[in-house]
């Protein structure tokens, strides 16, 4: 039986290009959408995920910059800030509290050391009133009210609880008994009990709890090997999702002439903050933070220095605009033009480029 041949289809020269032309609008649309997405990511000034800023762009990025654009602290977690006296712990707490209030959230500020005042708080736009300020004596007085707190809950609004500091909290046993709690065992147990009951409440209600703590030096059983610990046992370190370790780098001094004489004063401190523990993103990132006593965190100063250091430029800049070679003059220029947010966005872009250079090029692990 003779097989019939299938008719040969004559393809015109226009056939293949026609298919390509039909696909071109789709390709152009995909590219256009891709450009839109990148542009929005690069220039969106809002903290994605409604994270809370510490007042320092570089510290925000060190905490969660690889997970959320702009970084910062998320809700639903416990954060511990620990370090030696005078290393900026209260300033960080106040900056965070002020930011939460500016975003419409409510604050419970526990101050067992009774040293925060309205004038100091006002510097951070933190309205310290009777409804937000408490002076607890014991561990339960901090944590029990959290479980009973019922502030208005609105979408994308984060409410915050601050405690400054945990080291100043006592126990009923210590306050009522002559022998007290000499070994600190009762306090450690109360911290463990209260945190176990409270941490799930933070997550359920979208609260952010930030506590400061001091450091103690133990001589490791009598040997001369100093070991730095924080009061309250191991429970605070265990339950904290993020632990920030502060350390003074240097004092900042300013000199003026007064009646022909040089007068020098310490006007602030420069500290390093290490993300000592981090369940939010990667640990052990560090950030320099400058604190001016009558101003708070000098975010402009650190951002200008970061761009100058890592862009290879010889002067302070914003975008393609050259600023003064003198730091204080460059800061004034930024403030006069209102370029604080523009500067912050440039730091985020540069930080992301540097962070991407450390990305692993390995293939995904087979599991």
Q: Given pLDDT bands bounded at 50, 70 and 90, which one contains residue 24?
A: low
Per-residue pLDDT at 238 exceeds 70: yes
Q: Given pLDDT bands bounded at 50, 70 and 90, which one contains residue 233?
A: confident
Task: Report the pLDDT value the prediction gives residue 180, as an integer from 0 to 100.
Answer: 58
Q: Quick one: tokens of 173?
A: 């046993």
Please name the residues in contact with 114: beta carbons below 8 A apart, sequence gap of 6 or more.
135
Would you say 316 and 327 are in contact if contact means Cβ atoms under 8 Å apart?
Answer: yes
In this structure, the number of other CB atoms found within 10 A of the CB of residue 229 comes to 15
Q: Quick one: tokens of 223?
A: 């040997």
List, in sequence order, every residue forming a beta bridge with 216; answer none if it has no partner. 229
Q: Quick one: tokens of 319?
A: 């975008």
Task: Report the pLDDT value the prediction gives residue 173, as an integer from 0 to 100.
Answer: 72
Residues 78 and 237: their CA atoms lie apart, in Å, by 10
Instruction: Give the pLDDT confidence of 107-143 residue by residue, as tens digits.
Output: 999 999 888 888 999 999 999 888 899 999 999 999 9
Would you say 239 and 77 are in contact if contact means Cβ atoms under 8 Å apart?
Answer: no
Largest Cα–Cα separation, the chain: 121
Report H helices in 252-339.
299-311, 327-337
Task: Report the pLDDT value the prediction gives residue 261, as an integer from 0 to 100.
Answer: 92
Q: Given pLDDT bands bounded at 50, 70 and 90, which one contains residue 36?
A: very low
Per-residue pLDDT at 84 exceeds 80: yes
Q: Quick one: tokens of 314?
A: 């010889």
Full set of structural domains in the chain with CATH = 48-297 (3.40.50.300), 299-355 (no CATH)
The backbone torsions φ and ψ at residue 122, rounded to the nearest 5 degrees and listed phi first, read: -65, -30
pTM of structure = 0.83
Instruction: Give the pLDDT confidence of 320-356 residue by residue, as tens digits.
Output: 999 999 999 999 999 999 999 999 999 999 999 999 9
Q: Provide the CA 333 distance to its chain's centre, in angstroms.
A: 26
Residues 18, 24, 25, 27: is their CA dihedral positive or negative?
positive
Task: Report the pLDDT value the prediction gives residue 318, as an integer from 0 to 100.
Answer: 95
Residues 288 and 89: their CA atoms lie apart, in Å, by 14
Say which range, 89-93, 209-213, 254-258, 337-341, has the weakest mean pLDDT.
254-258
Do strands 296-297 and 286-292 pair parallel, antiparallel, or not at all (unpaired)? Answer: antiparallel
The backbone torsions φ and ψ at residue 169, rounded to the nearest 5 degrees and listed phi first, read: -80, 145
Say which range, 38-42, 95-99, 187-191, has the weakest mean pLDDT.
38-42
Task: Report the pLDDT value the prediction gives residue 252, as an integer from 0 to 100.
Answer: 96
Instruction: Give the pLDDT confidence of 181-230 residue by residue, as tens digits.
Output: 655 588 889 999 999 999 999 999 999 999 999 987 765 555 555 567 88
Read off the pLDDT of each residue in 220-244 and give the average, rounded to a whole number: 79
Report H helices in 48-138.
57-64, 89-102, 118-122
Work out the burial of residue 246: count CB atoms within 10 Å of its CB; fewer than 13 is exposed, 13-18 middle, 19 or more buried: buried
Percent of the chain with pLDDT over 90: 67
Residues 290 and 20: their CA atoms lie apart, in Å, by 57
Residues 36 and 39: their CA atoms lie apart, in Å, by 5
Per-residue pLDDT at 14 exceeds 50: no
Q: Which residue's entry shows tokens 């109360």?
A: 190
Residues 158 and 133: their CA atoms lie apart, in Å, by 18
Per-residue pLDDT at 7 exceeds 70: no
Instruction: Give the pLDDT confidence of 145-190 residue by residue, as tens digits.
Output: 999 999 988 888 999 999 999 999 988 777 766 665 655 588 889 9
Please name the residues in contact with 104: beta carbons below 8 A apart, sequence gap of 6 or more.
154, 157
Q: State the angle between helix axes of 57-64 and 340-356 in degrees (0 to 180), rounded to the nearest 10.
A: 30
Per-residue pLDDT at 39 exceeds 50: no
Per-residue pLDDT at 276 exceeds 90: yes
Read off the pLDDT of each residue in 247-266 and give the average, rounded to a whole number: 93
Instruction: Give the pLDDT confidence of 294-318 residue by residue, as tens digits.
Output: 999 999 999 999 999 999 888 999 9
Per-residue pLDDT at 43 exceeds 50: no
In 3D space, the residue among 124, 123, 126, 122 whose CA is nearest the CA of residue 109 turns out to be 126
Q: Which residue's entry shows tokens 């609105």?
A: 154
């Amino acid at each position: 039986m003779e097989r019939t041949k299938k008719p040969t289809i004559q393809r015109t020269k226009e056939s293949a290009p026609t298919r390509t032309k039909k696909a071109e609008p789709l390709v152009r649309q995909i590219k256009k959408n891709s450009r839109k997405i990148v542009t929005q990511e690069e220039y969106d000034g809002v903290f994605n995920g409604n994270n809370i800023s510490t007042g320092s762009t570089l510290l925000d990025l060190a905490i969660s910059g690889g997970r959320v654009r702009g970084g910062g602290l998320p809700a639903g977690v416990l954060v511990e800030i620990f370090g030696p006296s005078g290393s900026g712990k209260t300033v960080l707490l106040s900056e965070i509290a002020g930011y939460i209030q500016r975003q419409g959230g409510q604050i419970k500020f526990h101050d067992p050391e009774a040293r925060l005042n309205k004038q100091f708080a006002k510097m951070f736009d933190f309205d310290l009133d009777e409804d937000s300020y408490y002076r607890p004596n014991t561990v339960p007085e901090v944590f029990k009210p959290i479980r009973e707190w019922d502030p208005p809950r609105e979408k994308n609004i984060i409410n915050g609880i601050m405690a400054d500091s945990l080291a100043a909290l006592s126990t009923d046993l210590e306050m009522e008994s002559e022998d007290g709690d000499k070994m600190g065992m009762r306090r450690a147990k109360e911290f463990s009990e209260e945190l176990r009951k409270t941490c799930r409440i933070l997550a359920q209600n979208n609260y952010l709890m930030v506590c400061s703590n001091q450091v103690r030096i133990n001589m490791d059983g009598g040997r001369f090997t100093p070991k730095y610990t924080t009061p309250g046992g191991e429970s605070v370190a265990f339950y904290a999702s993020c632990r920030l370790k502060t350390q003074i780098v240097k004092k900042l001094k300013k000199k003026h002439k007064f009646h022909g004489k040089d007068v020098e004063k310490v006007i602030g401190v420069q500290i390093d903050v290490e993300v000592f523990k981090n369940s939010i993103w990667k640990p052990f990132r560090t950030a320099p933070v400058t604190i001016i006593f009558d101003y708070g965190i000098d975010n402009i100063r650190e951002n200008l220095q970061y761009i100058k250091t890592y862009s290879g430029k010889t002067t302070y800049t914003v975008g393609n605009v050259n600023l003064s070679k003198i730091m204080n003059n460059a800061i004034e220029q930024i403030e006069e033009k209102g370029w604080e947010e523009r500067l912050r966005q440039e730091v985020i872009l540069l930080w992301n480029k540097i962070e991407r250079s450390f990305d692993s090029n390995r293939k995904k692990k087979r599991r």
